[in-house]
A and B are shown apart, each in its own frame.
Chain A
Amino acid sequence: NAGVMQNPRHLVRRRGQEARLRCSPMKGHSHVYWYRQLPEEGLKFMVYLQKENIIDESGMPKERFSAEFPKEGPSILRIQQVVRGDSAAYFCASSPLLTENTEAFFGQGTRLTVV
Chain B
Amino acid sequence: QQQVKQSPQSLIVQKGGISIINCAYENTAFDYFPWYQQFPGKGPALLIAIRPDVSEKKEGRFTISFNKSAKQFSLHIMDSQPGDSATYFCAATLTGSARQLTFGSGTQLTVLP
Contacts and interface: CB of A to CB of B under 8 A. Distances in A.
Interface of A: 4, 6, 31, 33, 35, 40-45, 48, 55-56, 59, 91, 93, 95, 98, 100, 102-109
A44 B43 contact: no
Contacts, number: 56
A107 B99 contact: no
A45 B46 contact: no
A55 B102 CA distance: 17
Given A42-B103, A48-B98, A56-B100, A91 B46 contact: no
B85 interface: no
A45 B43 contact: no
A62 B44 CA distance: 26
Given A42-B106, A100-B95, A59 B100 contact: yes
B89 interface: yes
Contacts of A43: 44, 89, 101, 103
A91 B36 CA distance: 14
B84 to A, nearest CB: 19
B102 to A, nearest CB: 7
Interface in B54-71: none
A15 to B, nearest CB: 25
Interface of B: 4, 6, 36, 41-46, 89, 95, 98-106
Contacts of A41: 105-106
A42 B41 contact: no
A26 B105 CA distance: 27
A6 to B, nearest CB: 8
Given A100-B95, A103-B46, A45 B101 contact: yes
